[in-house]
Amino acid sequence: MKISRMFDEKKALWSFEVFPPKPTADMAAIHRTLEELTELKPDYISVTCGAGGTGNRRTAEIAGLLLGLGIEPLAHLTCINSSAADVERSVEELKLTGVTNILTLRGDRVPGAEESKDFRHASDLAAFVMARGDFDLGGACYPECHPESASVDEDIENLKKKIDAGVTHLNTQLFFDNEDFYRFTERLDKAGITVPVQAGIMPLVKKSHVDRTIGLSGAKLPGKITRMIARFYDDPDSLMAAGIAYATDQITDLLSAGVRGVHLYVMNNPYVARTITGNVSSILASVNR
């Protein structure tokens, strides 16, 4: 089912993001992970891909496994290091797999890698994909502003171009302070952007996530979370429990405020997905009644 139709039918969606294993790794572990995530009955599961098209084949493979398990996949597709012919091949592969939902992304700049002559922005990719089939397109957005934009207002003007090119729903970059999300959605309202926006929530449950997330996303860390990290950084069980509690609290507040959905960056960890889903399931059910 198209994700835009899911938004028509439900007040708030619940979904997960997974990443494909390395091309050399075998698929058995990810298959088990997908089975466990499927049991939690999310509305859909998104599958990331590497910039440069390198991850696209595995993305399609995992999307196919999800379809086999009866879960709607949202396949990420990047363009920053791809030619039109590369993207054409990836889109064809996704179509043959049975994928209808695609998250159209520019992709992060890879230092030293040759950049595409055919695509500069995610909006170029969205227009290209729209012309190649009956797809439902999502796009990325940034409550704390994309780092390359001079201002949030400029970022939102550019977001409109993505929507004009065919994107019908948005997933946010991870954030840890809900006030940033609320300020962002107020700006979207003022700009006349009415497509549903799902909040991207990343439970900080492992030392490695803490290190990588802080470096990569550039997300602002509120005092509440820096205290949690400082206290439990070297205590894995407590960091797991505290990270799950923080994410649960964030999601409870977002659902109370009427968010159209939560997309959980579960980092291929079914335990984290299961625990948080259990924590918020009655609230989610109440919102969707």
Q: Which residue has the tokens 């952007």?
A: 193
CB of 147 vs ligand FAD, minimal distance in Å: 7
CB of 123 vs ligand FAD, minimal distance in Å: 5
CB of 85 vs ligand FAD, minimal distance in Å: 19
Nearer to ligand FAD, 171 or 232 (CB): 171
Nearer to ligand FAD, 99 or 122 (CB): 122
Nearer to ligand FAD, 240 or 276 (CB): 276
* Positions in the binding site for ligand FAD (CB under 6 A): 48-51, 76, 78, 105-108, 121-123, 140, 146, 148-149, 155, 158, 161-162, 171, 173, 200
Nearer to ligand FAD, 187 or 245 (CB): 187
Q: Nearest CA to 18 among 273, 188, 280, 286?
A: 273
Nearer to ligand FAD, 33 or 123 (CB): 123
CB of 106 vs ligand FAD, minimal distance in Å: 3
CB of 285 vs ligand FAD, minimal distance in Å: 25
Nearer to ligand FAD, 121 or 206 (CB): 121
CB of 129 vs ligand FAD, minimal distance in Å: 12
Q: Which residue has the tokens 């970059």?
A: 173
Nearer to ligand FAD, 108 or 235 (CB): 108
CB of 286 vs ligand FAD, minimal distance in Å: 26
